[in-house]
Amino acid sequence: MEKMLVKRLNRSEVPTEKTWKLEDLYPTRGQWLDALEMIENELVEAKALKGTILSSAECLKNALLTYETIMLQLIRCGTYVSLRMSEDGTNSQNQSDSLQYSSLNTKVNAALTFIQSELLNLTEELLENYIKEESEIEVFKMYLEEIIESKQHKLLPETEEALASLGEVTSAPYRIYQTSKAADLKFDSFEDENGKELENSFAMFENLYEFSPNHTVRKEAYESFTKTLNQYKNTYASVYATQVKKEVALSKLRKYDSVTHMLLEDHKVSLEMYHNQLNIIFNELAPHMRKLANLKKKQLGLDTLHFYDLKAPLDVDFNPSTTYENAKETILKSLEVMGPEYLSIMEKAFDERWIDYSDNVGKSTGAFCSSPFGVHPYILISWQDTMRNAFVLTHELGHAGHFYYANKYQRVVNTRPSMYFVEAPSTFNEMLLGQHLLKTDDPQMKRWVILQLLGTYYHNFVTHLLEGEFQRRVYDLAEKGTPLTANTFCEVKGNVLKEFWGDSVVIDEGASLTWMRQPHYYMGLYPYTYSAGLTASTAISRRIESEGQQVIDAWINVLKSGGTKKPEDLLKMAGVDMTTSAPIKEAVEYVGSLVNELESLF
């Protein structure tokens, strides 16, 4: 039988309209290099401030403005090289530029540690007095108050500078993981039941083959995928173990009660809120998900449901594909409820090339939104013609809308809310898309849309939530001094999956390698925050149906507030109290109702 192998494009072959417009950051690489040199020069001027920062209100103001200027340029430079690496990690120039920026970033952080060290001597009383003398300091008040609060965990200035100078070394695990994933992992092609040869890649497996209605394609793609992961598991385990050990060591050095206390500090939430999110969903969602798994097994006519079957469409004969253009129109239609101002931001994203949606060799997997201050957000996605990708795209557009507003209405030190909040605006957009698509009288279409919505909950309440549970167990083992090996990680991941799915899903060795698939483990306690965001956005989006415009207005104000409030206060502005377990339980019950409705529609 004839072999047909469709080749992925190299980056140079991708049509311009499918790429993002990085010229908006720097028109040429040469101008990016000039910006690096400018930062070096400004660093010399900044060092002259050493020892003077708290000597007067004017000196404090000048130091803060100097710091802000350098950070703005550093963010812009870093975004440029990061996006270059994301579009093609195999490009040697991109790799070299990334290392050059990393070196400068470490140099800047080490050189400016004196600012934070001197600010540790600031008191609330002195801060208030200085604000009265120099009103512009008010903008930095929250940033300064956080420094004052963190005093007990700061080390001697010389030690802080030494740690900062090791920035390239301490950030190496994440960089090694990303580089290897983009440039080293090669997957065998495989054949479908007709003998057609199909190429495999990280993006193709996660965005296309996992969702295939064809059992042979799902199974063969999974075996090709996990075979390569298995070959690299010891290397990746060594890299991830280094990351975890670094964090545990730093938490002890800085005298935190635990590594979890240290990692949660930036989230600005209590330990109880963190554990609530994991415990309630892990325990109370499991029965609903097992029910869905059993329904899937029955509808697909399978004797056993394997891990690779979990994302298969339930309606094998009804799985409408969607082109990028069609998805764009549907997404914009679903977001009309947000009003003309918000909609115009979304239109800009499409019309002004904020989105890179090719699937080329060397491109970073998954999807993300990067929002450099003073330019506009950038979205990466490897588009496949599935409705699931439309949900992923509107998710990233939610991030873009959020940070477009925050960057417009706040100064750079106040744009980013804590990680705990950051997934609420993105999952909110997914909920609006689901609500829009549910307005159909066709039972087959309705159950298909419910499946798409359940895909959103699966992604955030299952995939990422179980990553969060895995992390919680790994940090616990690390604190106890347990050796962190590939076998340890596989055993922990396998146990998490087995406990959640029970006997409804076959969890094989390939499933236990799932910890190798996400970069989130190198970003602190990021995974559980997806469920926190979706918990909040579920509550808010459902209120729109009953309360209308006032909910939309409140939500827009929340987005404009950026990081000027703690996450629980931002969400209270929108009428959701995340300090209680009620919103989490309500969201889980809503998922249960979707599963029940789906079952009744079959």
Domains, the chain, in order of start with CATH, read 11-161 (1.20.140.70), 221-317+465-522 (1.10.1370.20), 324-446+526-601 (1.10.1370.20)
User: Does 92 have pLDDT greater than 50?
Assistant: yes
As a whole number, mean pLDDT of residues 560-572 equals 94
> Residues 313, 325, 365, CA angle at the centre, nearest 5°?
60
Q: Are strands 367-370 and 197-198 parallel, antiparallel or unpaired?
A: unpaired
Identify any residues that bridge with 367 across adjacent strands, giving them in sequence order: 381
User: Does 150 have pLDDT greater than 80?
Assistant: yes
As a whole number, mean pLDDT of residues 135-161 equals 90
User: Does 365 have pLDDT greater than 90?
Assistant: no
As a whole number, mean pLDDT of residues 194-209 equals 89
Average pLDDT, the chain: 93
As a whole number, mean pLDDT of residues 262-278 equals 93
Confidence (pLDDT) at 406: 97
Confidence (pLDDT) at 512: 97
User: Does 106 have pLDDT greater than 70?
Assistant: yes
Alpha carbons 519 and 200: distance in angstroms, whole number: 20
Confidence (pLDDT) at 6: 53
As a whole number, mean pLDDT of residues 442-470 equals 90
Which helix (H) or strand (E) segment holds residue 380: the answer is strand 378-381
Q: Give me the phi and psi of 356, to 5 degrees please.
A: -110, 110
User: Does 7 have pLDDT greater than 80?
Assistant: no
User: Does 129 have pLDDT greater than 80?
Assistant: yes
Single pTM value for the model: 0.83
pLDDT digits 0-9 by tens, 235-251:
999 999 999 999 999 99
Confidence (pLDDT) at 378: 98
User: Does 40 have pLDDT greater than 60?
Assistant: yes
User: Does 5 have pLDDT greater than 50?
Assistant: no
- 115 is written with which tokens? 């600012």
pLDDT digits 0-9 by tens, 407-423:
999 999 999 999 899 99
Confidence (pLDDT) at 440: 85
As a whole number, mean pLDDT of residues 339-366 equals 95
Alpha carbons 512 and 487: distance in angstroms, whole number: 10
